[in-house]
Amino acid sequence: MGAKKKVTITVDTDLFAKFKEACMDNDLKVSTKINSLIKEWLNGNKK
């Protein structure tokens, strides 16, 4: 994996609160989970 980059995104407040809570319940860092989800999405959508 390469260097890390800070990004600013806009997401629905309620959706993010639920996501953050799910990450805490599963002892996950939000940034790490988002990174995994992006990687998974890219692998599933190769053209």
Task: Report pLDDT digits (tens) over 10-37.
Answer: 999 999 999 999 999 999 999 999 999 9
pTM: 0.77
- Please check whether residue 39 is in contact with residue 46, taking contact to mean a CB–CB distance below 8 angstroms: no
Q: CA-to-CA distance for 8 and 34, rounded, in angstroms?
A: 13
Q: Which residue has the tokens 């990687």?
A: 39
Q: Quick check: 44 pLDDT over 80?
A: yes
Per-residue b or e along 12-23, where b marks 16 or more CB atoms closer than 10 Å to that residue's CB: eeeeeeebeeeb
pLDDT at 28: 96
